[in-house]
Amino acid sequence: MMSLGPLMLDIAGTALTAEEKERLQHPLVGGVILFTRNYQSPEQIAALTDQIHALRQPHLLIAVDHEGGRVQRFRDGFTRLPPMAAIGKHLLAHPQHALKLAQTAGWLMAAELRAVGVDFSFAPVLDLDYGVSEVIGDRSFHPDPDAASKLAGAFVQGLKAAWMSAVGKHFPGHGAVTVDSHQGLPIDERPFDTLWQQDMVPFRRLSPVLAGVMPAHIVYRDCDTQPAGFSRYWIQDVLRKKIGFQGAVFSDDLSMNGAAIAGDVLARAEAALAAGCDMALVCNDPTAAAQVLDGLQCAPDPLRQMRLLRLHGRHPQSWQSLQASTEWQQAVNLMTDLHPPAEPQRTLV
């Protein structure tokens, strides 16, 4: 048996190549993130996850960004999930219905992904929507921290009911900056107390039920000169000690422009792991992935193993039995009326 390594990589197509099979058996690899290019149909993606899981024991973690709205990797054949803001709009007038919608959305997302062998989605988005961040926008449940916490909490209950762990993002909060961290390095000038009383509220309240957290590629200049994902202050002092979070910490994609402050991709991976990330993501750049695999030195860590193994999905049912179930049919019907006009999806992590 191999332990799960600290790197999550991607693959090129809809089935594994011989080179990818070899790469994914490297001891430093612990997971695979899937994108739209990897998807054709529920049957194909189930065969692909079977291929990946068969490579080693314990099996590699398989993740995807499948939030709903603009960010949903698997579409044809899957239920089209609404953006979470469409659920949040119901909270004031119909609070119990809104919470039911959030829980149902979490269950439906998780049940469909588990039925095709995906272990977890990088969800829920816990960022607050201040109306200035285009990259967050309607991915956020709500502008109000208390409301966002309640809705995201219900969503997490739905995930758990479908045997999927929750990974909240983007700690300590991505909603108040205009720069997209895929394109550049955002700077948030707000003081710690503001972040603590607003953006961090959902992370603080949901910390006991989150199995993972993803920090943001954002510099919070009042607190540290490094982006949160490369910051021992944010990961160790605030997230681990002050909040008490005990789950896994995932870097955001190290190929993003917001990560360039740390140097080349190997330096970025080293910085993320040194800061306290349990797993570093290297996506959409096979040359960079090879560079990290060749150069990264990382000792085994039993605590990291324990955190990562918690993210394995459990008790999947088949796609056919899921779609035949009354619970699935009712969930799909409940989501139907929440869709705004279709928008093109974006490659976001």
* Positions marked active-site: 182, 252
Which pLDDT does position 279 carry in this prediction? 98
Domain boundaries, position 201: 7-59+66-337
Binding site, annotated residues for substrate: 65, 73, 139, 169-170
DSSP 8-state secondary structure symbol assigned to residue 237: I
The amino acid sitting at 313 is G
**Structural domains in the chain (count):** 1
Q: How far is CA 2 from the centre of its chain?
A: 24
The DSSP symbol for 228 reads: G
User: If you search the block for the tokens 């919608």, which residue do you land on?
Assistant: 101
Q: How far is CA 310 from CA 111, 165, 216, 297, 318, in A?
A: 17, 8, 22, 24, 22
- Could you give the C-alpha distances from 41 to 65, 87, 261, in angstroms and in order? 16, 27, 38
Instruction: Tell me, yes or no, whether 345 lies in a domain.
Output: no
* Rg of the chain (C-alpha set): 19
Q: Pick the closest to residue 138 from 82, 79, 72, 201 (CA basis).
A: 82
Residue 112 lies in a domain: yes
Query: Is 342 domain-assigned?
Result: no
- Write down the pLDDT at residue 184: 83
Each of the 349 residues of the chain gets a pLDDT tens digit; together they read 679 999 999 999 999 999 999 999 999 999 999 999 999 999 999 999 999 999 999 999 999 999 999 999 999 999 999 999 999 999 999 999 999 999 999 999 999 999 999 999 999 999 999 999 989 999 999 999 999 999 999 999 999 999 999 999 999 999 999 987 778 889 999 999 999 999 999 999 999 999 999 999 999 999 999 999 999 999 999 999 999 999 999 999 998 877 888 889 999 999 999 999 999 999 999 999 999 999 999 988 999 999 999 999 999 899 999 999 999 999 999 998 786 555 555 545 4
**What local confidence, expressed as pLDDT, does residue 180 receive?**
76
347 within domain boundaries? no
- DSSP characters over 86-107: HHHTTTTT-HHHHHHHHHHHHH
Residue 344 placed within a domain: no
Task: Supply the pLDDT for residue 255.
Answer: 87
Which residue numbers belong to the known binding site?
65, 73, 139, 169-170
Q: Please report the pLDDT score of residue 337 as a whole number.
A: 74
Note whether residue 1 is domain-resident: no
pLDDT value at residue 346: 52
Structure tokens, 135: 């990259």
pLDDT at 316: 84
- The answer to whether position 176 is within a domain reads yes
343, part of any domain? no
CATH of the domain at 171: 3.20.20.300
Q: What share of the chain is helix, strand, coil (3-state, %, to 5)?
A: 45, 10, 45
